Amino acid sequence: MYAGSIPTLASTFQRPRVIPVVLKFKPWVVASAGCGLAVYLASPPVGAGADHHLHLFSPVLADLLESRARGTDPELAALLDPVAFKTRSVEEVLSLLDESGLERGVLLSGAYMFSSPLLEDLDLDVPGLVRQENTHNVQAAASSGGRLVAFVGINPLEQGSLEELAFWVSHGGIAGIKLHLANSGFNFADPEHVRRLSAVFSAAADADLAVVVHLRSGPVYGAEEAQAFVDRVLPAAADIPVQLAHGGGWGGLDQGTLDALEVYVAAMERGAAGSRQLVIDLAMLTLGEETPLALREHAAALIRRAGLVRFVMGSDWPAVFRPQAHEAYLRQQLPLSDQEWDVIVGNKAPYLLTP
Ligand SMILES: [Zn+2]
């Protein structure tokens, strides 16, 4: 989601222009948005699906996000549902899966936020807080009876990121790492940034861990940035599973995100290095009715072109939607058939398929 958008909770701190649109599509609005949707909401599919994009904040991070949001833009923060900033329990995540008929969930640690340039005015104990936040997620997954997996969050541009990764590699109990390039202040035009990102992918590949990456780092984003990722970073992934968050964008669909998605789809089609286990999550791919139909149709066409198997569901909970409402919303937004949606909803990323 947007680098600065509070609804993602994955980054925060800049006024996002999309907020009023998001608010229109709060779950309760979606729940009353038509008879077709009512069917999905009333009877969640009983299946083996998964939510590939969930966040479970520790009390420390939840408090920081809330105070930061209120401090940066109190007017905006007042519009948001404060429940999004609450600390959640493992039981709550599991009942969230149950109500949506989902078997598995993917916890993406927001630990990278502590080393974000957006917070450098705070005098934080970054290594300590990063470890604590990652531990919170790993322990939650460990106590979930096998239904949740954890991805530890690191900032690829932070000095200590490879040490943090090495700790978890020896500790075990993680499915992979989560990167958020917007929150980390990543610049595709900076060769050193690209080199560091590639080094993190190499380290993940060496440890046989998956990577979930929020790639879009700013307003300037499209085919050029996506091609830089495909050519100069993705090959380092070798054969590990890689999941691009938010349809390869940052939440919300514009021409830049579509141009980037086209590059990722082309990479899959030609079997580019590192793309064998590449999947794309659809978390918050669109953010409102204002997204022109032509863009939504183009996105649907790209999904078909890549193959439905390449796309997985993820809600970005607790940003805006619960998983079931997010699914209903996407079904309304992207012109795919019910049968096609049923396939996508049942898909699991490769890292959930190995025992
Ligand atoms: Zn997220």
Residue 118 belongs to a domain: yes
When pLDDT is cut at 50, 70 and 90, the band that residue 262 belongs to is: very high
Question: Letter for the amino acid at 219?
Answer: P
Ion ligand 1 residue ranges (Cβ < 5 Å): 10, 316
When pLDDT is cut at 50, 70 and 90, the band that residue 88 belongs to is: confident
Per DSSP, helices labelled H in the chain are 19-24, 27-31, 35-42, 59-72, 74-79, 90-99, 126-142, 161-171, 191-206, 223-232, 255-269, 293-306, 323-333, 338-346
> 54 C-alpha vs ligand 1 centroid, how far in Å?
7
CA separation (Å) from 111 to 132, 154, 210? 8, 6, 17
Instruction: Report the pLDDT value the prediction gives residue 46, as an integer from 0 to 100.
Output: 43
Torsion of CA 147, 261, 199, 240, to 10 degrees: 40
pTM of the model: 0.87
Residue 280 belongs to a domain: yes
- More confident of the two residues 118 and 201: 201
> 340 C-alpha vs ligand 1 centroid, how far in Å?
24
> 2 C-alpha vs ligand 1 centroid, how far in Å?
10
Neighbours of 289 (CB within 10 A): 14
Can you tell me whether residue 66 is helix, strand or coil?
helix
| 40: CATH | 3.20.20.140
335: left (phi over 0), alpha (psi -120 to 50) or beta: beta
Rounded to whole angstroms, the Cα distance separating 148 from 138 reads 9
When pLDDT is cut at 50, 70 and 90, the band that residue 131 belongs to is: very high
Q: What angle do CA 41, 76, 26 make, to 5 degrees?
A: 5
pLDDT per position as a tens digit, 42-80: 334 445 799 999 999 999 998 888 887 777 666 656 655
Residue 274 belongs to a domain: yes
Instruction: Report the pLDDT value the prediction gives residue 287, as an integer from 0 to 100.
Output: 79
12 φ, ψ (degrees, to nearest 5):
70, 180
pLDDT per position as a tens digit, 289-330: 679 999 999 999 999 999 999 999 999 998 888 999 999 999
Whether 198 and 233 have beta carbons less than 8 Å apart is answered as: yes
> 220 C-alpha vs ligand 1 centroid, how far in Å?
20
Residue 1 belongs to a domain: no
> 227 C-alpha vs ligand 1 centroid, how far in Å?
23
The residue segments making up the domain with residue 334 are: 6-164+174-352
> 32 C-alpha vs ligand 1 centroid, how far in Å?
25
User: What are residue 278's DSSP bridge partners?
Assistant: 242
Peptide bond into 235 cis (omega under 30): no
Residue 338 belongs to a domain: yes
Query: Tokens 């996000």, residue?
Result: 65
> 250 C-alpha vs ligand 1 centroid, how far in Å?
9
Rounded to whole angstroms, the Cα distance separating 209 from 158 reads 19
Residue 292: partners with Cβ closer than 8 Å, 6 or more residues away: none
Can you tell me whether residue 176 is helix, strand or coil?
strand
> 251 C-alpha vs ligand 1 centroid, how far in Å?
9
Can you tell me whether residue 246 is helix, strand or coil?
helix
Nearest alpha-carbon partner for 119 in 185, 56, 74:
185
Whether 165 and 340 have beta carbons less than 8 Å apart is answered as: no
Q: What is the mean pLDDT of residues 257-278?
A: 98
Cα 285 from chain centre: 10
Residue 150 belongs to a domain: yes
Residue 90 belongs to a domain: yes
> 143 C-alpha vs ligand 1 centroid, how far in Å?
22
> 7 C-alpha vs ligand 1 centroid, how far in Å?
9
CA separation (Å) from 216 to 23, 152, 277? 22, 19, 20
> 326 C-alpha vs ligand 1 centroid, how far in Å?
13
Residue 169 belongs to a domain: no
Listing DSSP states for 268-333 in one string gives HHTT-TT-TTEEEE-TTS--STTS-HHHHHHHHHHHHHH-GGGEE----BTSS--HHHHHHHHHHH
- How many domains in the chain? 1
